Structure 1
Amino acid sequence: MEESRGNLYLIPCTLGDTSPLEVLPLLVKKAIEHINHYVVEHEKTARRFIKNVDPKKSQPDLEFQLINKFTNELEIPQMLTPCFEGKDVGVISDAGCPGIADPGAMLVAEAHRNNIKVVPLVGPSSILLAMMASGFNGQNFAFNGYLPIDKRERKTEIKKLEKLSLDKDQSQLFIETPYRNNQMLESLMASLHDDTQVCVACDITLPTEYIKTLPVKLWKKTKVDLNKRPTLFIIQR
């Protein structure tokens, strides 16, 4: 008879310096209370998050394995070792939901291959929250990650996404490194048609949250400083 296996819990965390229980359901706290094995992007960040959710949790009892963009596929299977021993494992990214524009997908795929139950918990996803607040087509949208850094290549990509949005009635989402956000907004203003709608969703769920949708011609008259603030951009033509 096959021994009972632990579950793989996908645990969302806050999108910034917000009290966890203001944006996370009680189920996340309950999961953290009983899980001691974690796969995370950064141990220090994860420990701080866990302490904020459950201050009484014994930190010395916690075990961490790291997963990030440099993780090799061959390293993935051993991350599930506790599950084969009947213990639950939690996956925590640095912000938002594991596996959605964050590490975790490879581990989830490996869990499915090994008949390990995957349990996604409810929490903030900047992509979904931005789409909800944009007023754009929530029936058909695409997340494109980072656009090219080179100005010419970036302009070409922006115009390509604008055409795709028009042809398919598809909202196009993307992000930028926070210290280049202002340059990205300038690139959008210089590359897009005046009537193309742009949503800027910044500091989502934080006290400084800023979400606004305007056509390009009005964005050109709007002043906003996005420097070093986590931001999602969405365009729809």
Structure 2
Amino acid sequence: MHSSERIGKLYIVATPIGNLEDITFRALKVLKEVDLIACEDTRRTIKLLNYYKIPVKKLVPYHEHNERKVSKKLIKELLSGKDIALVSDAGTPCISDPGYRIVSLAREKKIDVIPIPGASAVIAALSASGFPTDRFLFVGFLPKKELQLKKTIKEISKLPYTVVAYESPHRLEKTLKILKEMIPEKKIGIYREITKLNEEFLEGNPGKLLNELTLEDKLKGEFVLLFYPSKEEKENENEKSLDEILLQLKEEGNSLKTTVKEACQRTGLPKNEVYKRALELFSRD
């Protein structure tokens, strides 16, 4: 891919999060053809390259401790015509992994940044959890400091959509104890070791999950936490949305019958529920 008469391209390459076979043909092609591979841990990347018999080229360590310094050097390489692949230890770079700085700089320099999509622990966990996926919020790793963690838990526990977070194995027990204290009845899912040999999905309230993980010595590996939407907040959101639709239809001069019919079509809510709410709003005049 190298040419001295062109600006190089930066490829953001997703790599397996566990099972080494979870990688695309396109990703392998890019890794074979680029001039440099910027990687979070050279040992992890060498293992992947060896598995697919890809010659180990010049690997450049690129991690949270050297990101600022190395980004500038890599930009110079790109401007000189070299193509670079950015990989993290597992999954998609920039998603709770290093990468933001070099991508930002590359965009500033008008360098092409090309995503090579693939494995992502967030999407994998969501897709197989059975939790609502029409809307979700990914918050990355939960805060380390207890005060900030409690503040975050309070915020996300009330949200009307699924919240996804990462947690490290050495902090999970403490986090579950705090969850048990703050939101003891909250439905939570824990996906551990996704795509690996001991892959497992656990579901229940914080107390149940804490007992299961500690008693069976499962506080090891990689964890994705999923918080089920708050039913109360979900209902409040639906009610607010319904009210807005009903008031809009009313202000447009529609009759009660037409308003109810149109609101049912837009929201998918039962006719008797919509009619009852519409009556309350129409009777205010």
TM-score normalised over the length of structure 2: 0.70
Q: Which runs of 5+ in 1 are unaligned?
A: none
How far does residue 45 in structure 1 lie from its aligned partner after superposition?
Answer: 2.0
Higher relative CO (Cα under 8 Å, sequence separation at least 6) belongs to 1
Match of 1:231 in 2: 223
Deviations for 1:127-185, whole angstroms, at most 9, x for unmatched residues? 1111222233323322223334454553343223212x2xxx13222222222323333
* Residue from 99, 103, 107 that aligns with 1:108: 103
How far does residue 92 in structure 1 lie from its aligned partner after superposition?
Answer: 0.9
In the alignment of these two chains, the number of paired residues is 224
Does the aligned pair in 1 maintain the 2:67–2:101 contact within 8 Å? no
Match of 2:132 in 1: 137
Q: Comparing 32-41 with 149-158, which one deviates more in the overlay?
A: 149-158
User: What is the percent sequence identity of the aligned residues?
Assistant: 23
State the AA in 1 paired with 2:14.
Answer: P
Deviations for 1:25-82, whole angstroms, at most 9, x for unmatched residues? 11111111112301111222222222223x1x333xx223232222353542321233
Does the aligned pair in 2 maintain the 1:181–1:226 contact within 8 Å? no
Does the aligned pair in 1 maintain the 2:10–2:84 contact within 8 Å? yes
CA distance in 2, matches of 1:9, 1:150: 35
Q: Comparing 73-82 with 225-234, which one deviates more in the overlay?
A: 73-82
Q: After superposition, where does 1:104-183 map in structure 2 within 5 Å?
A: 104-151=99-146, 153-163=148-158, 165=159, 169-183=160-174
CA distance in 1, matches of 2:6, 2:163: 43
* Residue from 74, 81, 100 that aligns with 2:76: 81
Does the aligned pair in 1 maintain the 2:176–2:206 contact within 8 Å? no
The answer as to 2:32 corresponding to 1:33 is yes
Distance 1:138 1:119, change over 3 A: same
Does the aligned pair in 2 maintain the 1:8–1:90 contact within 8 Å? yes
Q: Secondary structure at the match of 1:100?
A: coil
CA distance in 2, matches of 1:72, 1:45: 18
Does the aligned pair in 2 maintain the 1:189–1:219 contact within 8 Å? no
Q: Secondary structure at the match of 2:157?
A: helix
TM-score normalised over the length of structure 1: 0.82
Q: Secondary structure at the match of 1:172?
A: strand
Does the aligned pair in 2 maintain the 1:24–1:122 contact within 8 Å? no
The answer as to 2:2 corresponding to 1:7 is no
Match of 1:48 in 2: 47
Q: Which runs of 5+ in 2 are unaligned?
A: 231-285
Q: Secondary structure at the match of 2:150?
A: helix
State the AA in 2 paired with 1:171.
Answer: T
How far does residue 220 in structure 1 lie from its aligned partner after superposition?
Answer: 6.7
* Residue from 194, 203, 207 that aligns with 1:204: 194
